[in-house]
Structure 1
Amino acid sequence: MTSSPLRFPFSWPATAEPPEELATLREEPVVRATLPSGDEAFLVTRYEDIRRVLSDPRVSRNRDRPGAARMTVQKTKVFQNPKIDRDPPEHTRMRRLMAKAFTATRVEGLRPHVRQVADDLVTDLIKREPPADLHEAYAVPLTLQVICGLLGVPPEDQARFRGSLGEAWQYMGELIEAKRHEPGDDLISALIGVHDENDGRLSAHELHVWCVILLLAGFETTASQLGSSVVLLLTRPEQLGLLREDPSLIPEAVEELLRCQIAGHSLSMLRYVTDDIEVGGVTIPRGSGLIPVLESAGFDESVFPDPMRLDITRENKQHLVFSAGPHFCMGAALARLELQVALDALIRRVPTLRLAVPPSALRHHDSPLDLGLREVPVAW
C-alpha cells in the first residue's frame, strides 16, 4: 500500500474531465487517504471489491461512533443522523416502507410531466439573448420542479429552501404536518399513509429525514449531473452527432455519461468498519473509515475497456454510480428519467447548442461534497 496518504476527494479539472488520479488509482486495491476533516480513511479502488464492500455487513453506514472518521469538520445532518439507523435490519424496514410509496410505476408516470417541464424551460431558454447559464436556466429548475411536484411541494414554496439545509428541515416538517391533515396525490401523503403488518409505519422522524433527503438529493445532484453531461457531449462532437442522428440512443448515453461523471463525490460514501475485513489482499482494521470510490469503479479497465473514452454505444452499462446492495439509490429511476428527458429536449430543440466559453474556463464548486460545475455558459 502507498506509504503517504492521498488527499481525497480529488480535484476535478475544468471541462468535466476526470481527475488525473483516476487513471492510475486502481494499481492498488486499497489506498490511504486524508479527508477534508483531517481524518484518514481507506479508499477501495476496484470495481469488484467496491461491489463486495457495498454489501458487506461489516462495512457500516452508521458513523456515530467514538473515533469514527469524519467527512468534514462540521457534521452534516443529512449524512449522519443519530436517530436514524442506516444499517440493516432497521434500514431494511425503512426501505421496504419507502418502496411501497416510491414505486417504479409512480416514477414512470411522471414522464409526461417531466417532458412538459423540459419543453417549457427550453422554450424560455431560446427566447433569451445568449449566452445563458444552462445550470440555472434549465438543469436546476427542471429537477427542482420535478422533485417538488413528486413530493407535493407547492410551486410558490419551491425557492424557500434552496441552498439552506436548515430551511429545508423546518419547511419539510411543516409540510408533513399539513399533509397529515389534508393529504393529496403526492409522495409525502403516500408515505404518511404507508403501513405494513410486519414493518409498522415510518415514524415521524424517519419520515422527516427521508423527505429532506429526497428533496435535496432529488434536485442538486441530478442538476449537476445534467450540466456536466451536456459539457461532456459538447466537447465531444462525434458523440453528440450520434445522438442527433439517432435520439433513441439517449438512454444508453445517459448510462455512459453517469459512468464518466458521477453526480457527487464519493466522500459521502464514507463508512465505518465494524470488524477486520480483507479487500484485495489488504486487511482493513476494525474502527477504520472506508470509502468505496464509485468514480474509480467507473474507470476500472477490467470492466470498461478504454475507460477514459466516452462511448455512448458502449455495451457494458453496469456502473455503480447509484451504489449497490442494500443502499442502492432509491432515486435512481427518477434521476435516469430526468436526464433522458432533459437531454432529449435539448437535442431536439436546440441543434446549435454550444459552450459560450472555452472548456478550460469552466470551474467546479469548492465544496468537497459538491462536484457540480458552478456555471455552464451556453449559446445557440
Structure 2
Amino acid sequence: MSLSKPVSYPFPWTPPLEIPEQWRHLRQQPILEVCLPSGDTALLVTRCADVKALFSDTRLSRNTARHPDSARISANNQLFGDANIDSDPPRYLAERSVVTRAFTARRIESLRPKVWEIANDLMDQLAAGPRPADLVSAYAFPLPIRVICHLLGVPTRDRDKFVGMVNGFMSITRLPAEEVESCRTGLSTYLTELIEAKRDHPGEDLTSHLVRISDEDQNTLSAYQLRHWVQTLLIAGYVTTATQIGVSMAMLLHRPHIVKEIQADLSLVPSAVEELMRYQVMGSSIGSLRYALEDIELSDGSVVPKGATVMLSVESNMDESVFPDPYTIDIRRKENNHLSFGSGIHYCAGAALARMELQVTYEGLLTRLPNLTLAVPGAQLRRAEGGFINGFTEVPVQW
C-alpha cells in the first residue's frame, strides 16, 4: 500500500470522452489509497483478478452501514447504506434468489417487443422534433424509466414524481442535506404506497410478484426487505441504464468509423454493447464499497487490512493482462469478461435487461437515424458533477 497522501476520488473525466489519465497507471500497485467526496479514505483494489475474486469473498462485507468506522461516500447522504438490510450471505443469497427468479431470461426476452415499441415511439418524437436535439433527455433517460416502470407496474402518472425523488436520492454533493433527506423520505413513502396498491390490486408486474412472495412468507422476504428490493430495482433499472445509454452513444458518435462498422454489420451490436460496457461505464467505483472483516491477501501478496473500507475497481476493466490493448474500443473483442455488472454472488440481477435495452438502442438509433452525429465537438460535452453517477448532462445530436 502506498504511504503517500490519498488520491482524490473519483478521478476527473478530462477530456470527457477519454479514459482519465490516472486509470493508465493504477495497476502499478494492487491497492491505492483514495479520498472519497466525504473526506473519508478507502482502498481501491486495481487489478482485474483481485477484483473478481473479492466480489465473492465473504471476508468483505457489503454491510458498511453496520460498521461505524467504515468510510462514507458522502458526508450528507448515506445513499444505499442501510443497517437494517443484510447484503451478505446467507441472508442476501436467499433474497437475491427470489429476485433473480423473477428476472428469468424468458421474462426479459418477452419484454423485447415492448422495449422496441418504446424505443420506436421515442425515435419518432426525436425525428419529428427540432435539431439539434439532446439525446439524453429525448431518449437515454425516457427509455429505461418507461421500461422499468412497465416491468415493476409503476403508473405512468407517477414517472415524473419518481424521477425527481431518485435524482435527490443519488446526490453526493450536488444537493443540500435537507433536500436529499426529503427525497429519500418521499421515495420511501411512495414505494410503501405502491406496494400497498399492488397488494390490494395485484397485476402481472414484478412488484405484484414480489408482494405475493412476501405475503406468503415473511421469512423469505420481509416487508422491509420487499421495499428495499423494489427501490433497488427501480433505481438500478433506471439511472444506471439511462446513463450508460447516453455515455455509450456519445462514445460511439465520437468515433464515426465504429458507427459505420456497426451499420454495415448489425450482428456486431451485442459485442459492441459489451465493449462499450467494458470501456465506458458511468464514472467510478464508489458504489462498490465493502468493509474488510479480516485481513485479505491479494494475488501478489499485498494485504487488505481488517477494518479497511474497500472499493472494487471498475477501472480494472482496463487491466492489460486481461484485455489486450485496453484503451482501444474493439467491438470485435473476444473473451470480453468485463466486470461492469460485478461478478459472482454480486453479479447484477438486471444485467440481461440492461444489455437488451442497449442492444435495441444501438440498432434502433443507428439504423433509424443513419446520419446521426454529435452536434458539438466531443470535448465540449459536460459530465454531471456531485452525483452518484457521472454521465453527460447533455449529448446534442443532429442528423
Work out whether residues 36 and 72 of structure 1, in 8 Å CA contact, stay in contact via their aligned partners in 2: yes
184 and 170 in structure 1: CA distance in 2 versus 1, 3 angstrom threshold = same
The alignment yields a C-alpha RMSD, in angstroms, of 1.6
Between 175-184 and 280-289, the greater mean CA deviation after superposition:
280-289
Q: Are 2:310 and 1:287 aligned?
A: no
Cross-structure match for 1:363? 382
Work out whether residues 214 and 226 of structure 2, in 8 Å CA contact, stay in contact via their aligned partners in 1: no
Cross-structure match for 2:173? none
Return the alpha-carbon distance in structure 2 between the equivalents of residues 323 and 297 of structure 1.
Answer: 11
Work out whether residues 214 and 222 of structure 2, in 8 Å CA contact, stay in contact via their aligned partners in 1: no
Q: Describe how 1:50-61 pairs up with structure 2 within 5 A.
A: 50-61=51-62
SS at 2:160 equivalent: coil
Cross-structure match for 1:66? 68
Cross-structure match for 2:175? none
Cross-structure match for 2:266? 247
241 and 342 in structure 1: CA distance in 2 versus 1, 3 angstrom threshold = same
Cross-structure match for 1:377? 396
Counterpart selection for 1:303 from 322, 328, 344: 322
Work out whether residues 73 and 286 of structure 2, in 8 Å CA contact, stay in contact via their aligned partners in 1: yes
Cross-structure match for 1:201? 220
Work out whether residues 15 and 231 of structure 1, in 8 Å CA contact, stay in contact via their aligned partners in 2: no
Cross-structure match for 2:77? 75
Return the alpha-carbon distance in structure 2 between the equivalents of residues 263 and 110 of structure 1.
Answer: 25
Question: Post-superposition shift, 1:15?
Answer: 3.9
Question: Post-superposition shift, 1:195?
Answer: 6.5
Cross-structure match for 1:12? 13
SS at 1:162 equivalent: helix
Deviations 1:290-344 (A, max 9, x none): 11111x2210001111100001011121000000111111111110010000111
SS at 1:18 equivalent: coil
Cross-structure match for 2:3? 3
Between 95-104 and 63-72, the greater mean CA deviation after superposition:
95-104
The runs of 5 or more residues in structure 1 that have no matched partner are: none
Equivalent position amino acid for 1:188 in 2: T
Equivalent position amino acid for 1:346 in 2: L
Q: Are 2:182 and 1:181 aligned?
A: no
Q: Are 2:289 and 1:270 aligned?
A: yes
Cross-structure match for 1:228? 247
Work out whether residues 273 and 287 of structure 1, in 8 Å CA contact, stay in contact via their aligned partners in 2: yes
Cross-structure match for 2:178? none
Q: Are 2:181 and 1:162 aligned?
A: no
Return the alpha-carbon distance in structure 2 between the equivalents of residues 250 and 263 of structure 1.
Answer: 20
The runs of 5 or more residues in structure 2 that have no matched partner are: 170-183
Work out whether residues 356 and 377 of structure 1, in 8 Å CA contact, stay in contact via their aligned partners in 2: yes
Q: Describe how 1:67-216 pairs up with structure 2 within 5 A.
A: 67-77=69-79, 79-164=80-165, 165=169, 166=184, 167-194=186-213, 200-216=219-235
Work out whether residues 282 and 390 of structure 2, in 8 Å CA contact, stay in contact via their aligned partners in 1: yes
Question: Post-superposition shift, 1:201?
Answer: 3.0
Work out whether residues 16 and 383 of structure 2, in 8 Å CA contact, stay in contact via their aligned partners in 1: no
Work out whether residues 97 and 196 of structure 1, in 8 Å CA contact, stay in contact via their aligned partners in 2: no
SS at 1:31 equivalent: strand
Work out whether residues 36 and 368 of structure 1, in 8 Å CA contact, stay in contact via their aligned partners in 2: no
Question: Post-superposition shift, 1:368?
Answer: 4.8
Work out whether residues 248 and 280 of structure 2, in 8 Å CA contact, stay in contact via their aligned partners in 1: yes
Return the alpha-carbon distance in structure 1 between the equivalents of residues 213 and 352 of structure 2.
Answer: 21
Equivalent position amino acid for 1:119 in 2: N
Work out whether residues 133 and 376 of structure 1, in 8 Å CA contact, stay in contact via their aligned partners in 2: yes
Work out whether residues 152 and 187 of structure 1, in 8 Å CA contact, stay in contact via their aligned partners in 2: yes
Work out whether residues 323 and 329 of structure 1, in 8 Å CA contact, stay in contact via their aligned partners in 2: yes
Question: Post-superposition shift, 1:198?
Answer: 9.4
Deviations 1:36-62 (A, max 9, x none): 111111110000010111111111101
Question: Post-superposition shift, 1:66?
Answer: 2.1
Cross-structure match for 1:325? 344
Between 190-199 and 29-38, the greater mean CA deviation after superposition:
190-199
Question: Post-superposition shift, 1:358?
Answer: 1.1
Equivalent position amino acid for 1:26 in 2: R
198 and 151 in structure 1: CA distance in 2 versus 1, 3 angstrom threshold = closer
Equivalent position amino acid for 2:313 in 1: V
Cross-structure match for 1:25? 26
Question: Post-superposition shift, 1:196?
Answer: 11
Flag the structure with higher helix content. Answer: 2
Equivalent position amino acid for 1:333 in 2: A
Work out whether residues 45 and 293 of structure 1, in 8 Å CA contact, stay in contact via their aligned partners in 2: yes
Which TM-score applies when normalising by structure 2? 0.92
Number of aligned residues: 378
70 and 345 in structure 1: CA distance in 2 versus 1, 3 angstrom threshold = same
Work out whether residues 32 and 43 of structure 1, in 8 Å CA contact, stay in contact via their aligned partners in 2: yes
Equivalent position amino acid for 2:346 in 1: H
Return the alpha-carbon distance in structure 2 between the equivalents of residues 44 and 276 of structure 1.
Answer: 14
Return the alpha-carbon distance in structure 1 between the equivalents of residues 90 and 16 of structure 2.
Answer: 42
